Amino acid sequence: MKECNFSYEEKSDDLFLFEHYRKSAQSISNGNFVLDYDAEGNLVGIEVMNASTTLAECVKDEKASLLLLTSLKKCSFEMKKKEDIIILKLVLEGKTEVIHPILYLSLEKLQTTC
């Protein structure tokens, strides 16, 4: 699991997880997720749009999700590909709670952007 930098923008409700020393060369979107890859094809960043709603299932509710996002202290991620699915494992540590969401994204629905 890669520990990463993070930024949560409450106004837009977007969560950014990224490796600060790696540059994105390509972005691929899938619904509320944008995955950033470097020139070698390594995952270097993840954007979760509508993060409090998207992650609400992993915590008690949307309000609890928002509280976690606004108090983040530490984040990490890992990605694996299995057939036509991308499996994203996240660890989001707030002041009072840690969640370990596992997200499954279909490769068939991914859209490439540069």
Higher pLDDT, 13 or 84: 13
> What pLDDT sits at residue 76?
94
- Residue 109: what pLDDT? 67
Residue of 12, 19, 26, 22 lying closest to 78 (CA atoms): 19
State pTM to two decimals.
0.85
Which of 20-24, 29-33, 72-76 has maximum average pLDDT?
72-76
The mean per-residue pLDDT over the stretch 84-107 comes to: 87
Task: Give yes or no for residue 58 having a pLDDT over 80.
Answer: no
Place 4 in a pLDDT band, splitting at 50, 70 and 90. very high
Q: Select from 12, 17, 10 the least CA-distant residue to 90.
A: 17
Strands 26-30 and 102-106: unpaired
Q: Which of 18, 21, 4 is nearest to 76 (CA)?
A: 4
**pLDDT higher than threshold 50 for residue 113:** no
